[in-house]
Amino acid sequence: MPADNVMFSRMYGDDSPIAAFATTPGNSALTLIRCSGKSAIEIFSPVFSPERIKDAPGSTVVHGWIIISANSEKIDEVLVSVFRAPKSYTGEDSLDICCHGGPSAGKAVMDVLKRAGFRDALPGEFTFRAFMNGKLDLTRCEAVMELVSARTETGRSHAMSRLGGSLETEIGEIKKLLVEALCGAEIYLDYSEDEIDAGEKVDRLPGQDIALTALERLKRLSASWQFERIYQEGITAVIAGRPNAGKSSLFNALLKEERSIVTEVPGTTRDWIEAWVSINGIPVRLIDTAGLRESADSVEKIGVERSRKILLEADIILYLIDGEIGITEEDKDFIAGADGAQACLLSVWNKADIAPAQMLSLADKKPVSVSAKTCEGIADLCAAVASAVQDNLPVRQEQGNCAVGTTRQKNLVDAACCALEEALSLAQKEEPLDMIAPLLREAVNALGEITGEVSTADILEEMFSRFCVGK
């Protein structure tokens, strides 16, 4: 382990016994407290009855009581999962204590643990120890927090893929290709002193085909972030239209709950309201807005102005046309004015249950026909939103392909790409290998930093400090 990593581990927590809530204390059936560290089981034994937990084998569950060792006062009845090093999440002796829920029971157990010799874990310290003990690489560590913060099933699935090692494997394979190309260049340099001049130009980089294959795979990984970021950060979709077009009804239909007030009175919605919803696996910040019209009502006028401002934040605008009235000049003006805007506009023909969509085309696209009241066509609208998101990406991401999961990973992949492209450019210009080899080494080191083979204290501290306590 590099010296700076050793220093960081001591600063961040070394191997002393730590404890933290793994679930948020509150009104729940159960609370989970995680413990780990050197001699964690032995330190825990005096505050657990019966004391047989000291001899419990790893990967077993023991039933008993948390007690105050001084007077054997019972604090809570618990189940304790025992994990012995190295077969644990952290690679150390560890305990998962399942106690009763509620704010009081968990706090009382934590107080006992602290008196016994455990200290509060720092944010991400359990996962940090897993990394330092070789249980997880950095891509898997980051996938832990991706999994915790996933908003949709698709996001969860992608995070689980990286937690299972898909990205680590892909980075390892690309790095192997680059190391092979680098070795070819360095061997050539080692033997060239006796055979050619040190500065003699070569017409081809040894292993150039391998380097080109590596570059192609790196570019695919870099492009994947545009797609992956959508499933992590989500998009903003704003529902807009004239008053009484059915915006609030559509908002409720997509949410599958009565969140916005719906009446037949135009102008009921006076301000925008938002909620997160999953649309075909994409996290969407869905916003219902006030009807767009000129109004003498001062309150409604403010609501309309706020709605116009929130439209500037949209990635997608769902513009509703009142099918009962049909398309108006205001509708045409809004749709025409949206041409060339940053947001993607989808026109939606609402109230299709009483007024089937007309055979018309708006902005070269036929409106999606829906009934917010009966939910007819909602599935088609969701598919259209997902398709619009995919169409706006610079590169389509094929299902099942490996993808980067954080900005840090994306930046390091790009750094490796830049170094490799420069190396190949120099090789094409027949520049000396002693100029090319360092660039190949730079690309290899960037990939090593992604997985943690190459790391520094400040990088690790910045990364793990963003984790939640208990992870």
pLDDT tens for each residue of 129-144: 999 999 999 999 999 9
Torsion angle, CA of 43/46/51/55, rounded to 10 degrees? 20
C-alpha closest to that of 37 among 19, 12, 62 = 19
Q: Give the amino acid at 387.
A: S
Average of per-residue pLDDT across 453-461: 71
> Cβ neighbours of residue 148 under 8 Å, at least 6 residues apart?
468, 471
Task: Tell me: pLDDT of 425 over 60.
Answer: yes
Average of per-residue pLDDT across 322-339: 80
Say how far apart CA 101 and CA 104 lie, in whole Å. Answer: 8
C-alpha closest to that of 99 among 66, 121, 69 = 66
Q: How much is the pLDDT for 188?
A: 66
Q: How much is the pLDDT for 196?
A: 45
- The DSSP code for 467 is S
Q: How much is the pLDDT for 22?
A: 93
401 or 237, which is more confident: 237
Q: How much is the pLDDT for 157?
A: 92
Query: Domains in the chain and their CATH numbers?
Result: 3-136 (3.30.1360.120), 166-230+400-459 (1.20.120.430), 232-391 (3.40.50.300)
pTM above 0.85, yes or no: no
Say how far apart CA 31 and CA 25 lie, in whole Å. Answer: 6
How would residue 118 be classed by pLDDT, with cut points 50, 70 and 90?
very high
Q: How much is the pLDDT for 378?
A: 93
Q: How much is the pLDDT for 423?
A: 92
Task: Tell me: pLDDT of 117 over 60.
Answer: yes
Task: Tell me: pLDDT of 189 over 70.
Answer: no
Q: How much is the pLDDT for 50?
A: 81
C-alpha closest to that of 352 among 381, 323, 320 = 323
